[in-house]
């Protein structure tokens, strides 16, 4: 069955430091891959997506992610974290199963310390 694993429940980084959030997926074919961000009390917002082509994708707010087929990974990175990046981050896999279904990982909570 398709699944998404985010091994880190929470991560704390200092403001200005670099960030990497890990994501591994299980899916037979090349998946559609997404990263979403959720601020407290809000719905999710798409940061970036990968469908095909260049395996390094750029997103909003200075985020990027790299698709590595050999590792079944799609890790999210940001070179310099800002305090406003503190939020919950969700990796997701999209697949066509009847309709288009998006399966989310359990999320990683990012804390940013001054």
Partner 1 sequence: DTAVSQTPKYLVTQMGNDKSIKCEQNLGHDTMYWYKQDSKKFLKIMFSYNNKELIINETVPNRFSPKSPDKAHLNLHINSLELGDSAVYFCASSSRGEKLFFGSGTQLSVL
Cα 79 to Cα 29: distance, rounded to the nearest angstrom: 30
Closest approach of partner 1 to the CB of residue 35, in Å: 12
Candidates 45, 55, 71, 80; binder of partner 1 (CB under 8 A) is 45
Question: Residue 13 or 37: which CB sits closer to partner 1?
Answer: 37
CB atoms within 10 A of CB 20: 13
DSSP 8-class letter at 61: G
CB 10 within 8 A of CB 21: no
How far is C-alpha 107 from the chain's CA centre? 8
Per DSSP bridges, beta strands 108-113 and 10-14 are parallel
Binding-site string for partner 1 from residue 13 to residue 42, where x marks contact by CB under 8 A and - marks none: -------------------x-x-x-x--xx
Q: Does 46 bind partner 1 (CB under 8 A)?
A: yes
Where do contacts with partner 1 occur on this chain (CB under 8 A)? Answer: 32, 34, 36, 38, 41-46, 49, 51, 88, 90, 94, 96-104, 106-107, 109
């Amino acid at each position: 069955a398709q699944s998404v694993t985010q091994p880190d429940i929470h991560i704390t980084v200092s403001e200005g430091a670099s960030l990497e959030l890990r994501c591994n997926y299980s899916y037979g074919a090349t998946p559609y891959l997404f990263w979403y961000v959720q601020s407290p009390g809000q719905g999710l917002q798409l940061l970036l997506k990968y469908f095909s082509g260049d395996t390094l994708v750029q997103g909003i707010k200075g985020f990027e992610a790299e698709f590595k087929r050999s590792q079944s990974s799609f890790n999210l990175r940001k070179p310099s974290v800002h305090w406003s990046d503190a939020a919950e981050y969700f990796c997701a896999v999209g697949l066509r199963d009847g309709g288009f279904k998006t399966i989310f990982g359990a999320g990683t909570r990012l804390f940013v310390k001054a």
